[in-house]
Structure 1
Amino acid sequence: MTKGLTKITDDDRVAIDPSEYERIQLAKKYYKDDLPLIHYRNSYGQRRHRAMNTLNVTKLASKRLASIIFDEQCDLSLKDTALDKFVNDVIDRNHFNLQFEQHLETGIALGGLAARPYVDDQDNIRIAWANADQFYPLQNNTDNISECVFASRTTRVENKQPIYYTLLEFHQWEGSDTYLITNELYRSTTRDTVGNRVPLSMLYPNLQQSVEFTGGAIKKPLFAYFRTPGTNNKDLDSPLGVGIVDNSRNIIDAINQTHDQFVHEVKMGKRRIAVPSEMLRPSVGGFGSNGDSQVHPPVFDQDMDVYEAMYGDTTQLKITDLTSDIRADQFKASIDYFLREFESQVGFSTGTFSFDGQSVKTATEVVSENSSTYQTRSSYLTQVELFLNQLVTAILEVASTPQFFSDNQARISGFDANDDLGMMVHFDDGVFIDKDKQRADELQLVAAQVMPKKEYLIRNFGLSETDADKWLDEVQDEQPDFTGGSLEEASPDDDQGAD
């Protein structure tokens, strides 16, 4: 319990360069729009500061990408009917589609996210999420991360002082058939350090220090990691992804600085009129009242704020308009230029964010003119499918392991993590594809016997092969049965008798 950590990366088990998390923290500041103040000197040479008027394109781009990659209309299916029903029940109880779109937005901004299933006090399988700065790889290869540590922080007030607790949950392999989960709690009086290790009972009295699964009870990691597509060009040996800020920081800074200058110029361009100081001499008690020594009544409406007093020779001073022109067209052209550069950096089609002078283009118009957004989305979908496959596997691993449940009874049986799940993910392509036209075109292919009916159902309704076969069987059963030939057996005499 004497072990202490300044940073989580100080732990010998964490196999990642600390600079990766410095990069993630910087990206997090951009995503949160937590940027430094603007420092300047006023007309008197005094040093002043003010908040930057930013255009948070990091948040904007992350949200746009997340919404076109994954939404509530997405569904997945497994070839095994029982497993398919169980997994979709877990997904529905956790409101997974809504949660994943929100967390995907953060993952795109920071370069990655992680999730892990766990069992709550009511023996329900829940899904816990971790942002990029809460997930630390331990061991990895070129394909995936096999060991990790999750970090979660809790703040409590003790003796009128904030105390910061950090829980580290290690997932490790010992050999090829033993999976070990270890929990460690750290306590610190400062926000910037992890602190010293303390007993779990200080904050989590019911949490075990370690759980070991032997004999191949667990075959795959009990977590899933999503990383953004593309190479991590900041650290070629890192398994972590890079976010929007990492390769677009200069362009984002240019957008923010230009937008800040424009807003500041609008503020400074407020109408101002200089008048001789005696015209703004403050009144005393009101003109004309008893005992008032005021020389003259107020000259201007007292609600006016455009007049400013000027001092000097009263014989030379006159009313002067000091209002300066606002360079709106120049600033607009500059911001549009930087936005087009940002679109290219992130992988959006031209016109997604920039203003063309006539109207803001819709997503459908953009994609019809340029396929960059669609290609970027396709790259993300590959990583999303890999993440979903890992997460579904982890959910089934937990469900098939009795140790996780209070009654020591597994919730499913017959599951082998090494088997192919046959998972199908049906993404909503409504932004890019006219669904009605697609169905009509493919229905013509079915009628021409070029496309199988089963494939048509899978492509257009997101069904698994099992469900598609079930649909076709039910359709076949509903067809009228002309065998047995009641029509052939009907005699002409019977027809005449009926007449």
Structure 2
Amino acid sequence: MDIFSYFQRKGIDTVDKSFYRMIALWESWYKGRVRNFTFYKIYSGQGTSIRRQRKSLGMAKKLSEDIADLLLNERVQITLSDESTGDFVENVLKENRFYVLGNDYQERKAYSGTVAYIPYIKDAEVTEDGSFQSGKIGIDYVSASNIFPISWSNGRVTECAFTFPKTVARKKYVQVQFHRMEQTVNGSQYVIENTVLECQSGSREGTELAEEEWKKLSPFRFLAKRIETGSPEPQFVIDRLNIVNNADMDESNPMGVAIYANAIDVLKSLDIKYDSYSNEFELGRKRIFVAPEMMKNVNGSIAFDPEDVTFYMMPDEYDKSQEGLIKEVNMDLRSEQHSGAINDDLNYLSLKCGFGTERYKFDCSGVKTATEVISENSDMYRMIKKHEVILEDVLKELVQIIIRLGIVLGNPLNSESEVTIDFDDSIIEDKEAERQSDRQDVSMGAMGLWEYRAKYYGETEEQAKATVQQPEDTVIE
């Protein structure tokens, strides 16, 4: 189904269709199955071509994993100044497996450029006056290929469409969800509209189902056609890498690009060399050519193990006078040249993706990742900090939406709670050495105990001061 045909019929403008072909290309590198590259043909010289599968180092996957682990891992702390509000948010995130799926979607963000998080109210019971009696907060996670910005300003998406493919009884359906801003008498509010398309063969844009029709399908049984949020703030969060999008001629495109979007040529070069390296061992294995009369013993039994591929029987017209009855052939392997070339490309790739050089090293056991602590003036440090700028805003906005929905459900939450995001920089900074130094500063009075708690215990300044019962200007002796 071509979702763009549906958008066009509805008069909806979004990012150009060609950009989503770029997303598909980046995803194919992540999966290791690239069109017109992974499978190739070699001419045999006999009028036919042999189809081969190129071996791959899978560095697109490795890069995506690494940046995801550096940005959002189990050590990242989300702290709110109001404790009860913080506990509520923490429970919602845990119930929606955010600390697992969050890292998963950081990896998806790395290979596609963009992901989205959409909190919503599920299992709700509504009273006659329209207020919520009960319900839970869920989070939908959406990949780039299912995100279609409708309006945006200064790179911030304000209205958006999301698609959710489903399969019911072998039939394919697509839920299309629109988040739009509407003007009301009292101001403006976001409205969420849902529709369901049935994907039929021969139909480019699918068949739009009526609400009573999709209510009969289990995935859409509780799907509302229209939801008025009553809030001028969006109920979705767009998360992208902090890299300028140069994959689209439209400079205003708000979508992100893959971390390796500008390193495709290096990925190709790497896999070509690794495939050649592997073929070097496959084609250069030891062979022993044996004359026909040497293949059997005097009693007629087979002299060599028939399963041993080292031995190769020569034809009857084999010239024994020139080559002898048994001839051993050992091919020279160019392993050092291949390893050097692969390591050069790994450095190019690492540099182009923001990790600096010497991040990856290829040897006989495969690709290894450097684990040493890096300095604050390194390329990798600056790259991570740059991406954290957007991610911090994304996490804070996600928390605010959860709080807002919690208040709608009747929970006594503080919408003014200060949100603090503490990223794990242990791979960047020597945390233990820094912590030991700060302990000495506290003992000398150069640092307040409340400052130490705020820095290492994930507390806000107010919480830390309340814990130690120490005013801001007090110095510990």
TM-score, normalised relative to structure 2: 0.85
More strand by share: 2
Q: C-alpha distance in 1, partners of 2:3/2:459?
A: 50
Q: C-alpha distance in 2, partners of 1:222/1:127?
A: 10
Task: Decide whether the 8 Å contact of 1:40 with 1:48 is kept in 2.
Answer: yes
Q: Note the C-alpha offset of 1:142.
A: 0.5
Q: Note the C-alpha offset of 1:307.
A: 2.0
1:78 paired to 2:118 = no
1:34-89: CA deviations, max 9, x gaps?
22312112353421112221011111111111112221121111223332222122
Q: C-alpha distance in 2, partners of 1:400/1:129?
A: 22
1:298-345: CA deviations, max 9, x gaps?
232333222223336345464333442221111101100100000110
Please show how residues 398-409 of structure 1 align to structure 2 within 5 Å.
Answer: 398-401=405-408, 409=409
Q: For 2:234, which of 221, 225, 230 is the aligned residue?
A: 221
In the other structure, the counterpart of 1:432 is 428
In the other structure, the counterpart of 2:142 is 130
Q: C-alpha distance in 1, partners of 2:18/2:203?
A: 16
1:365 counterpart SS class: coil
Please show how residues 269-280 of structure 1 align to structure 2 within 5 Å.
Answer: 269-277=284-292, 279-280=294-295
Question: Structure 2: where are the runs of 5+ without partners?
Answer: 125-134, 472-477
Q: C-alpha distance in 2, partners of 1:167/1:320?
A: 68
- Letter of the 1:219 counterpart: P
In the other structure, the counterpart of 1:172 is 180
Please show how residues 230-379 of structure 1 align to structure 2 within 5 Å.
Answer: 230-235=243-248, 236-277=251-292, 279-280=294-295, 296-311=300-315, 313-316=317-320, 318=324, 319-355=326-362, 363-365=370-372, 367-368=374-375, 371-379=378-386
Q: For 1:460, which of 441, 456, 461 is the aligned residue?
A: 456
Q: 1:245 to 1:359 in 2, by over 3 A?
A: closer
Task: Decide whether the 8 Å contact of 1:106 with 1:131 is kept in 2.
Answer: yes
After superposing the two structures, state which structure 1 stretch, 449-458 or 325-334, moved more: 449-458
1:348-406: CA deviations, max 9, x gaps?
132111248999876452614972211111111111101101211211222222xxxxx
Q: For 2:167, which of 139, 150, 155 is the aligned residue?
A: 155
1:125-152: CA deviations, max 9, x gaps?
1211111111111111114111111111
In the other structure, the counterpart of 1:292 is none
1:178 counterpart SS class: strand
Q: 1:320 to 1:362 in 2, by over 3 A?
A: closer
Q: Note the C-alpha offset of 1:202.
A: 4.6
1:201 paired to 2:215 = yes
1:401-450: CA deviations, max 9, x gaps?
2xxxxxxx4224563xxx5x421111222222232321222233334444
Q: Note the C-alpha offset of 1:260.
A: 1.1
Q: C-alpha distance in 1, partners of 2:202/2:394?
A: 32
Q: 1:445 to 1:314 in 2, by over 3 A?
A: closer
Please show how residues 379-458 of structure 1 align to structure 2 within 5 Å.
Answer: 379-401=386-408, 409-412=409-412, 415=415, 421-458=417-454
- Letter of the 1:221 counterpart: P
After superposing the two structures, state which structure 1 stretch, 4-13 or 262-271, moved more: 4-13
After superposing the two structures, state which structure 1 stretch, 454-463 or 303-312, moved more: 303-312
Q: For 2:106, which of 86, 104, 123 is the aligned residue?
A: 104
In the other structure, the counterpart of 2:26 is 27
- Letter of the 2:197 counterpart: Y
Q: 1:260 to 1:364 in 2, by over 3 A?
A: closer
**What percentage of aligned pairs have identical amino acids?**
25
In the other structure, the counterpart of 2:199 is 188
Q: C-alpha distance in 1, partners of 2:202/2:301?
A: 60
Q: C-alpha distance in 2, partners of 1:447/1:14?
A: 62
Q: Note the C-alpha offset of 1:93.
A: 2.4
TM-score, normalised relative to structure 1: 0.81
After superposing the two structures, state which structure 1 stretch, 41-50 or 72-81, moved more: 41-50
Between Structure 1 and Structure 2, how many residues are aligned? 445
2:307 counterpart SS class: coil
In the other structure, the counterpart of 1:490 is none
Question: Structure 1: where are the runs of 5+ without partners?
Answer: 289-295, 402-408, 476-499
The structure with the larger Rg is: 1
1:247 counterpart SS class: coil
1:299 counterpart SS class: coil
Task: Decide whether the 8 Å contact of 1:75 with 1:427 is kept in 2.
Answer: yes
2:109 counterpart SS class: helix
- Cα RMSD after superposing both structures: 3.0
In the other structure, the counterpart of 1:482 is none
